[in-house]
Amino acid sequence: MFQALINRKATRSPAGLDLGSEGARAAQVVRRGDTWSVTTLASWRVPRGSPGLDADSAARERLAHWLRGLQIGGRKTVAGLSPPDVEIHAMELPRPSGGSPEEQRRAAQFELARLAGFNDDGAESDFWWLPESRSMTTTALGVAAEKSCVAQSLDLCRRARLDCVQLDATPCALARFGYLIRGPAATHDDVWSVLDLGARMSRLILCVGEIPVLARAFDYGGRLWTRKLAESLSVSEETAERHKRDHGIARIARSAPEAPPATHLLGEMIYNVLRADIDAIIGEVERSYRYVLQCFRQRRPGPLILAGGGASMFNLDALLAERLGIEVIVPACENSEALAALHVDAVAGQTREPLTVFACAIGLAIAARHAQPANCGGGRS
Amino acid sequence: MISVNLLSPTVTFRRRQKARVRVWLIVVAVVAGLSAIPLGADLIKSAQAAALRRQVEPLNANVADARNRLDKVSAECRNLTTQLARADALRAKRDWAGLLQLIAGQIPPQVWLDSLETFTAEAPSRPTGSARNKQPKNQNVVIPGPAGMHIVGYATDNDWLYEFMSRLKLTGAFRTVELTMAGRVPVLQGAAVRFSLTCTW
């Protein structure tokens, strides 16, 4: 009964703040027992012609102004850093059977300093333990970010009058988002993944249970695809972006008896332009799945969750499902009943952007305080 | 679920310290605010009292001025009352000419007068001690006047003296007509009755 009372109590989380190069997304959730309800979704894009948030201080100031006006309860936030701002490295650390947490922290810090390619200014780092596997020598994954990058994020939060309680890595946030929409039961005995198709880069995170065990980043981003389409179709980048979203990609079987509709023809043109990149991503996903499944032999291949702006590209999920042979999930407000522990009904009409764009922000919002490492010794290093 | 934190312990510590300081500042501000309420009320009351005092000072001066004027007016009033009383007293003065004419009209030919002299009534005995205090102050001014007159003269004989006294009594102008002295005295080549009457009114 006491547990039921605790579960009934709603807890507001700090706002998740996903800072990308092309814009920022913010989300806030409320926890009721084992379920999470999204209460706020908002996004902001850098002005046209801006070189991006990293290089444009005026754009950062405008973002801070936008964040100041945002209705965030508690004014606390968990910011997220994405590759290449953060580096994720596999580490072979001795398991935490003997050493003290302080020794483990120092060992991870030393190993990350050795592996990370940052300059002499030093880096902020953290790590988490991976599930045990006899086929895998990697025991932990470490995250490191340049101090200047951390300071830049903190400065932005300060100017936005937000209290940054945690600076997380977006692969962890995406893993949390995927775990939340699938539910603990579904992730019990498979290897599943999240593919975040961002504007600058794409990220693939493979998880075992609730723990990310492999994080990869590719240079195939949505912006690159838009540029390629604009060059190939001789249209402006805005038109290419619209075509990409509206028509997506389509594969036309040559053996089809009737002529395909015109929209399919445009979709095939887009597919042909992007084919190399999509094939490369599929290849990376295949290789990653194969590697993780080799390490965790008792598990079966699980679904791929698409996230990011590129996830809304028409027909991409069907193509990936067909080529990979696994289920591909595209979370959307429209099919909210399919999301296990995440309720998005309250924000269904709040934004024009698809839910996949906010996957990282929602994952960040459920990070602080509530996220307890389950079977790992994730601590600071 | 896995979560990492790339904030350095120093930053986290400073943030927590800042949050604690903020909480303390809020608490101090609330306490100070709550304490300031009675203090503020006292200050407001003091200010109001000072303002009232400032208003009272000219009023006090006005009151003193009014009191002085009242004293002056009261003194004038007393003076006027006295003058009025005097005027009343003077208005009540006896008509001596008429009285003399009246007396002259009553004198028989065998009687002649030697002198007429008024006399003042004896002053009433002054009250003593507490009795004086208990008595209300008489605001009327009492001017002591003649209570009667002594008439000294001669008559050829006692009958005419008696006639004269009877006539005086009959006039009703006197309350009493008393013969205080009568005796034969030589006058010229003969003798006459010298008399003295005391008439009061």
Picking from A81, A179, A376, the nearest residue to B6 by CB comes out as: A81
- Per-position DSSP letters for A200-216, written without gaps between them: S-EEEEEEETTEEEEEE
pLDDT of residue B28 exceeding 50, the answer is: yes
Token duo for residue A36: 């999470």
Q: Residue B178's pLDDT is what?
A: 94
Quote ipTM for the complex: 0.81
Rounded-to-integer distance, Cα B61 and Cα B57, Å: 6
Inter-chain residue contact B6 with A373, CB threshold 8 Å: no
Inter-chain residue contact A163 with B19, CB threshold 8 Å: yes
Q: Residue A373's pLDDT is what?
A: 38
pLDDT of residue A136 exceeding 90, the answer is: no
Token duo for residue A16: 């998740």
Place of tokens 């190069």: A21
pLDDT of residue A70 exceeding 70, the answer is: yes
The answer to whether B131 faces chain A, any CB pair under 8 Å, is no
Percent composition of chain A: helix, strand, coil (DSSP 3-state, to 5): 40, 25, 35
Looking at per-residue pLDDT, the higher value among A218 and B25 belongs to B25
Handedness of CA B150, B156, B159, B163 (dihedral sign): negative
Q: What is the mean pLDDT of residues A108-125?
A: 79
Looking at per-residue pLDDT, the higher value among A348 and A138 belongs to A138
pLDDT tens digits for B121-151?
765 555 555 555 555 555 566 666 788 899 9
pLDDT of residue A371 exceeding 90, the answer is: no
Looking at per-residue pLDDT, the higher value among A53 and B47 belongs to B47
A177 Cβ contact list (under 8 Å, min separation 6):
A194, A305, A307, A342, A359, A360, A362, A363, A366
Q: Residue B58's pLDDT is what?
A: 92
Q: Residue A337's pLDDT is what?
A: 66
Q: What is the mean pLDDT of residues B108-130?
A: 78
pLDDT of residue A286 exceeding 90, the answer is: yes
Q: Which residues of B touch A175 (CB under 8 A)?
A: 1-2
Rounded-to-integer distance, Cα B86 and Cα B93, Å: 11
Q: What is the mean pLDDT of residues B75-94?
A: 85
pLDDT of residue A377 exceeding 60, the answer is: no
pLDDT of residue A379 exceeding 70, the answer is: no
Token duo for residue B176: 């009493």
Q: Residue B153's pLDDT is what?
A: 95
Q: Considering only alpha carbons, which residue of chain B is nearest residue A372?
A: B1
Place of tokens 């003065």: B93
Q: State whether residue B154 is helix, strand or coil.
A: strand
Q: Residue A8's pLDDT is what?
A: 55
Q: What is the mean pLDDT of residues A229-239?
A: 86
Q: Residue B152's pLDDT is what?
A: 95
Q: State whether residue A47 is helix, strand or coil.
A: coil
Would you place residue A269 in the very low, low, confident or very high pLDDT band (cuts 50, 70, 90)?
confident
Would you place residue A85 in the very low, low, confident or very high pLDDT band (cuts 50, 70, 90)?
confident
- Choose the most confident range, by mean pLDDT, from A17-21, B83-87, B166-170: B166-170
Q: Residue A374's pLDDT is what?
A: 35
Rounded-to-integer distance, Cα B120 and Cα B148, Å: 7
What percent of chain A is modeled with pLDDT above 90? 17
Picking from B2, B8, B9, the nearest residue to A128 by CB comes out as: B2
Amino acid letter at B34? L
CA-based nearest distance A376→chain B, Å: 8
